[in-house]
Structure 1
Amino acid sequence: MFDTKPLLGEEAPSVYNTTHRRKTVYAVLKAVAVAILVVSALVYSGSSSHKPAPNKKNIIFMVTDGMGPASLSLARSFKQFRDDLPINDILALDRHLIGSSRTRSSSSLVTDSAAGATAFSCGLKSYNGAIGVDPSKNPCGTILEALKLQGYLTGLVVTTRITDATPAAFSSHVDYRFQEDLIAEQQLGEYPLGRMVDLIIGGGRCHFLPASVDGGCRADSRNLIKEYTENDIWSYVGNRQQFDELDGGKNVTLPLLGLLATSDIPYDIDRNPKQYPSLAEQVKVALTALSKATEDSDKGFFLLIEGSRIDHAGHHNDPSAQVREVLAYDEAYKEVLKFIEDSDVETVAVSTSDHETGGLVTSRQVSPSYPDYIWYPEVLLNCSHSGEFLTSKIVSFTRSNSDAKVVEDFITKEIFQNDMGIQDATAQEVKDVKENLSTPGQLLYVLNNMISLRSQTGWTTHGHSAVDVNIYGAVSNFGSIKTQLYQSAENVGLLGNHENIEIGKFMESVAGVDLSKITELLKDTKHHPSSVDEINANSFDQYHQTQ
């Protein structure tokens, strides 16, 4: 009830005044009621000019390659320090934690990214190195393929090469992850099912171009970009300017091939925003484009999003790059949350990691004495570039400067003090850098260890670990998926602790597809290494310990 006393006043001295004032109150109440109805109608209808089919769905699967629970702790504390935030400030991901995943492959307790991604895409365990194939090297149907054949649109958005393990496992089938030339061909449609992907945004031009072309690395002479774009089979963007012309996804012609870097897109700490879009920008374009393209369809879309280079920072033991990569992914996750909130199509987003990389811990004993209970995020903030960037910078400088004194001054002043924020470098550290100028891989580790040591950030390996990883989930407030998402493993939900294949099974269940039927269609897929690759295949287990 409204309080009418302020309108009527403390007293009503006459019948006329009382009646008049009552009519005024009723008129005001009627106007308010009409306004409420109008606003409600606008809110209800404003998000879309049409009503989607009752069973229409969007499925968004997000992968934080190499991110374990400690990565969240590191990034959260770093952000609180950097932005002067209270201790109860948390990441967007933190608000959506629903479970955890066990990550072993069929060949090892410690998985690689290929087997980890195949567990998600095919819902089965396979060996380290497997891309969309089972332990017997038979192609297995993926969730992306199943949905495409049902009429969904599909997309891949990553920050590494688009032919790298995670996107490849959803969109191709090869025995070994190093077969990136063949992966590129399959992603464009060269296998029994034809083209399965409608939108590709990431790095990796290298495997679409012959080695004879600048930036190319294919073993054959094929120029896939030219083959697939000159006849308008695919639309193509290859740089920041062309990406910006997509107008946030409003000006996209599908299928879209977006190859924004020769290899991997630079770490976020190094990324020049005038040259490369952020992961969040890529995600926004993909979501807008796919949503727009499906608005008049009774089918939605499937989108894979990967924060790929969290893994690389772990391999490099680079805490400065690590925290920026996690925060960049968190911004991309916010874009997904906003899309879900604004969409009138039932949408579910599941985010998890294929494995943890680096054996990261937010502490480190730096002396034989009793350890300090502390770590220093300010050290990471003071470092303005990744070890990868700085290694390249040092190597490039020393190639054109042979004077030992000039080189040493460059290392101590330009690299240590200006780029890394280290003012107390020791003579031994200078010596270590100088002794590894001809071995960039080792130089990278020397530089990153200087930051890790001073911040007291701990690492146990340059490879992967078997630690359980987190599962995050977000879903529309309407439709049937919400209940299913928060069910236990026994009910094909994601609440609690799971094997990684159960995440793949969850997507299969939500989509209402049968991956085994897709597997039957893939028997004639070319997936074995060529004779040239046999040596690589034979040495694969040793070579990919660091992948």
Structure 2
Amino acid sequence: MISDGFGMTSEAMAREFMRHGNDPTTDWASIMDTMLVGTSRTRSSNSLVTDSGAGATAFSCGSKSYNGGIGITSDKKPCGTVLEAAKAKGYKTGLISTARITHATPAAFAAHVINRDMEDLIALQEIGNNTISHSVDLMFGGGRCQFLPKSHDEGCRSDEVDVWDLAKRAGYTRLASRSTLDSSDPSDISLPVLGLFAHGHMSYEIDRDPKEQPSLTEMTTKALDILDHNSDDGPGFFIMIEGARIDMAGHDNDPATHLRDILQYWETVSAVRKFVDSHPDTTLVSTSDHETGGLTLGIDPMYEWHPEVLAPVKKSAELICSEMKGMASDRLRDHVVNTVLPGYLGIDDAGDGEVMNVLTAASSNSKLCRRMVGQTVSARAHIGWTTGGHTGADVGLYAYGVGASDLRGCYENTQIGAFLAKYLDVKMGSITRSLVNEVTEQRGFSHGSSDNV
């Protein structure tokens, strides 16, 4: 399990928010606190501050990569992943993410490209249109547009390849809505299965319409049931589950949105722990690829913070900014004063400075808008952020089940990948050798900037 962008201060923030609202005692602990075994060092091969591609590749291959590399070593050669090695040994395999399923973290377990933005190629590799066919038996997440051709109304590929149709021809059971997921009986679903429940990234938990999109917990619970039902003829299964949007809210310095995705991740961890309890030969490992935002609780000069400020927030900065961008200028001030601040952010006594901050945000570019809205809430809560990017801080390492004690201590991120391989008794070397002719560059690719580095 990977809580993307989730640092130790984020855990403290979520813990203190829950304690403040529900338990006045100081010894209350979260589900994560009860599983803490150590910390992980997060640097990539070319930077103290990693991106998600290099961070996830350390877990998947047990090897360092450069920022932007996906399932590839620092010299741009494909490396076999623990998921691919598990599949070769007879394990069933799965990937779940609240981001696009072609995004950096899930991609690093089942694809091999020199640049994380080569998502057209990643989609093809994930469904087995590469050297290793059908390495992933189950994929749940967002990013349907990356599987549809450029000419499709919902397509966002740069070519006319219909990967959604290719997946069908490759034998994938396809799920494209909340209702199809809910109505599917785990014992009746034959693998492989591909469930894409959003056009792009799935909604933040604070914005999610439960009638339209399943939660991370719901996707995970269904996936565990499906994989469990389909693993009788082999040694078991390996699955990577990512709480992806924790990171994206950190990039936006949006504390309430960050918090709600953390709480949803906690709920997912709790569900997986219940599975481990009923399947005692199973191990759960949870960590982060990096910390995002440089979060601080209690900003100078007062040694205090106010968790109650986060409770009434009802929408993400992303959704608020999107709404304001489409609004006529003559309506904007009224919307900010009477809807955004009191209705969405829970600020009933906004000062002139806060009103002006949000109005300025509305006329700024999208990234700056989101950050300014997030920081409006942060200032009230006495929360500080040092960056809109990642940091080089160590992150928490959590484990539960068989072998959990073997992870006690401070580990390089590559050592976590080595632990997974040892636990599953798989070796990635033979997979790496089979990938020597793998296509790692997307034809016609135009280098741009990643949306979340």
User: TM-score, length-normalised on structure 2?
Assistant: 0.97
Query: Residue in 2 aligned with 1:495?
Result: 408
| Distance 1:338-1:312 versus aligned 2 partners, 3 A rule | same
Q: 3-state SS of the aligned residue for 2:384?
A: coil
Query: Residue in 2 aligned with 1:486?
Result: 405
Query: Residue in 2 aligned with 1:140?
Result: 79
Separation (CA, whole Å) in 1 of partners of 2:257 and 2:451: 21
Separation (CA, whole Å) in 2 of partners of 1:528 and 1:209: 20
Letter in 1 for 2:182: D
Letter in 2 for 1:269: I
Matched, 1:292 2:222: no
Aligned-pair CA distance for 1:275: 1.0
1:527 to 421, 440, 445: 440
Matched, 1:469 2:395: yes
Contact residue 57 and residue 109 of structure 2 kept, 8 A: yes
1:381 to 301, 308, 311: 311
Aligned-pair CA distance for 1:430: 2.5
Aligned-pair CA distance for 1:307: 0.7
Question: What does 1:93-492 align with in structure 2 at a 5 Å threshold?
Answer: 93-229=32-168, 231=169, 233-247=171-185, 249-295=186-232, 297-343=233-279, 346-365=281-300, 371-396=301-326, 398=327, 401-403=328-330, 406-438=331-363, 439-475=365-401, 481-482=402-403, 485-487=404-406
The structure whose RCO (Cα within 8 Å, separation 6+) is larger is: 2
Structure showing greater Rg: 1
Stretch deviating more after TM superposition (113-122 or 80-89)? 80-89
Contact residue 357 and residue 376 of structure 2 kept, 8 A: no
Task: Kindly indicate which of the two structures has a greater share of residues assigned to helix.
Answer: 1
Q: 3-state SS of the aligned residue for 1:448?
A: helix
Separation (CA, whole Å) in 1 of partners of 2:269 and 2:367: 32
| Distance 1:360-1:251 versus aligned 2 partners, 3 A rule | farther
| Distance 1:85-1:213 versus aligned 2 partners, 3 A rule | farther
Aligned-pair CA distance for 1:82: 3.0
| Distance 1:294-1:85 versus aligned 2 partners, 3 A rule | farther
| Distance 1:525-1:232 versus aligned 2 partners, 3 A rule | closer
Aligned-pair CA distance for 1:395: 1.8
Contact residue 101 and residue 497 of structure 1 kept, 8 A: yes
Contact residue 249 and residue 255 of structure 2 kept, 8 A: yes
Q: 3-state SS of the aligned residue for 1:351?
A: strand
| Distance 1:132-1:435 versus aligned 2 partners, 3 A rule | same
Separation (CA, whole Å) in 2 of partners of 1:545 and 1:437: 20
Query: Residue in 2 aligned with 1:478?
Result: none
Q: 3-state SS of the aligned residue for 1:361?
A: strand
1:432-455 deviations in whole A, cap 9, x for unaligned?
Answer: 333343422222111111100000
> What is the aligned length?
452
Q: 3-state SS of the aligned residue for 2:296?
A: coil
Stretch deviating more after TM superposition (83-92 or 135-144)? 83-92
Question: What does 1:7-86 align with in structure 2 at a 5 Å threshold?
Answer: 62-84=1-23, 86=25
Aligned-pair CA distance for 1:545: 8.9
Aligned-pair CA distance for 1:546: 4.8
Q: Which runs of 5+ in 1 are unaligned?
A: 1-61, 366-370, 476-480, 488-493
Separation (CA, whole Å) in 1 of partners of 2:108 and 2:389: 20
Aligned-pair CA distance for 1:250: 4.0
Letter in 2 for 1:434: L
Letter in 2 for 1:148: K
Aligned-pair CA distance for 1:402: 4.2
Contact residue 463 and residue 545 of structure 1 kept, 8 A: no
1:285-307 deviations in whole A, cap 9, x for unaligned?
Answer: 11100001113x24100000011
Q: 3-state SS of the aligned residue for 1:458?
A: strand
Q: 3-state SS of the aligned residue for 1:381?
A: coil
Contact residue 92 and residue 236 of structure 2 kept, 8 A: yes
Matched, 1:512 2:437: no
Q: 3-state SS of the aligned residue for 1:176?
A: coil
Contact residue 209 and residue 215 of structure 1 kept, 8 A: yes
Q: Which runs of 5+ in 2 are unaligned?
A: none
CA RMSD of aligned residues (A): 1.5
Letter in 1 for 2:394: D
Letter in 2 for 1:420: L
Separation (CA, whole Å) in 1 of partners of 2:368 and 2:188: 45
Aligned-pair CA distance for 1:83: 3.0
